[in-house]
Amino acid sequence: MSDIIVVGAGLAGLCAARTLQRAGRRVRVLEKTGHLGGRVWTRQHHGYTMDAGFLGMFTAYPAAQRQLDYGALKLVPLLPSAVLRQEGGRAEIVGDPRRDLGALPGDLTAQALTLRDRLLAGKLVAELLTQAPHVWLNGPSQPTREFLLEYGFSPRSLERFFTPFFGGLVLDRALMTCSGLFKYYFSLLVRGDVAIPAGGMSEIPRQLAQELEVQRETVVSRIDAREEGVTVHTDQGSLQAGTVIVATDPPTAARLLGEGHAPARPIDRGSLGSTYLHYGVDRRLERQPRLRLNALPDGHLNQVFWTGQVFPGRVPAGHDLLIASLWGIPDGTDTDLDTRTRAELRVWLGDRVNQLNLLHVERIRHTQYPQPAGYARTLPGQAGSHPRLYLASEVTSLSGIQGALESGEKAAAAILGDVQVLSRPRGA
């Protein structure tokens, strides 16, 4: 019998399990798939290393700084700029000229931003630097679109810059996401980098799991909590524990914890999905190490990135790897999605698109959950439906790596009675 069973080997579950094990508890982790990390993982395919899910991590995430050894991860920072793709494939490079001089001409001339927009952006950055990022996250909340317009930004900048930049990050083309979250991410970008481990995003969960016992390919069907202990029913048999932490995706967590109809603080808050198409090519088609963003209000392309140009060790010698992320989970077969994606990429690449070889299509049904204005008021806590049950999930904080790690810390703290960690502000 384990002291604690953690259901789910995503970042939240692994963080909670490692914290508890280091505190002297006997911990066992159950994972339904054959890999660690949940949505943060990496696959190998004919010499290509391909990340699924999150394409990068903010190095300024406070929880990541506490939990991860950045040096051991061999983080490779991406350029703090992006290529905005406009009508007819026209490209405008915008970014932080302090760290990427190549972005300076575009910052001065990009049609996506007016002169007033540029001045306002500088003013906003200066304001964000006056407070810690978590202060903005937990401050006043309104739709990001409303905030930006009230601040004075032009409608064109919202469509051609803020939607591909922030909307693409939170999967919200309407920019109805909480303005506190916008300020939080913008503040983190100013303070740090977006980086990826040289070996792929799977290095993050692998580092967290080094000290842990993880039982993979074990599906949990039901959890029965009683005064004397908890029984976890799996397809491999039943297990006993004193305490259970549920650290699965939110819909599964809601089911396992017995969430009722229309709860005041729901665990299952809906899902925003995304799709990733991975293309191999046997020669470099262009030299562009920056992330490309679709700045048009239509189409299904979201972001495009040439992985091999930043990570040459993740592709066969002389080859390159293109990752195209799409808005949502479009209907259709892999062939259908490939055809539509190539049609949009043709505007960017011309006939060179014919040299792309589709390697894999990844559909992630739950990439994030919706985070509209005021969403934080109804977030659930770490306590489950029974005193022996706990929740470790991004739905207790914010969607993404920070929220997952933070929730793992707090679920462990709830069990250990660590008031200092429990009282830490969201996003801090």
d(CA 303, CA 316): 23
Cα within 13 Å of Cα(147), Cβ side: 21
| Per-residue pLDDT tens digits for 245-293 | 999 999 999 999 999 887 999 999 999 999 999 999 999 999 999 999 9
Q: Which of 84-93, 149-158, 185-194, 318-327 is predicted with the least confidence, judged by mean pLDDT? A: 84-93
| Range 29-51 burial, b when 16+ CB lie within 10 A, else e | bbbbeebbbbbbbbbeeeebbbb
Is the confidence at residue 1, as pLDDT, over 80? no
Please write the tens of the pLDDT for every residue from 165-194: 999 999 999 999 999 999 999 999 999 999
pLDDT at 386 > cutoff 80: yes
What is the model's pLDDT at position 53?
67
For the four alpha carbons of 382, 388, 389 and 391, in that order, the dihedral sign comes to positive
Lowest mean pLDDT across 147-151, 246-250, 297-301: 297-301
Q: How far apart are the first and last CA of the chain?
A: 35
pLDDT value at residue 88: 78
Q: Check whether 417 has a pLDDT greater than 70.
A: yes
- Residue 126 CB neighbours (<10 A): 10
Q: Per-residue pLDDT tens for 185-242? A: 999 999 999 999 999 999 999 999 999 999 999 999 999 999 999 999 999 999 999 9
7 is in an annotated binding site: no
Across the chain, what does the average pLDDT equal?
A: 95
Confirm if 323 and 301 have CB atoms less than 8 A apart: no
Percent of the chain at pLDDT exceeding 90: 89
Predicted confidence at residue 213, as pLDDT, reads 92
Amino acid symbol at 312? P
For position 261, what pLDDT does the model report? 81
**Which pLDDT band, with edges at 50, 70 and 90, does 90 fall under?**
confident
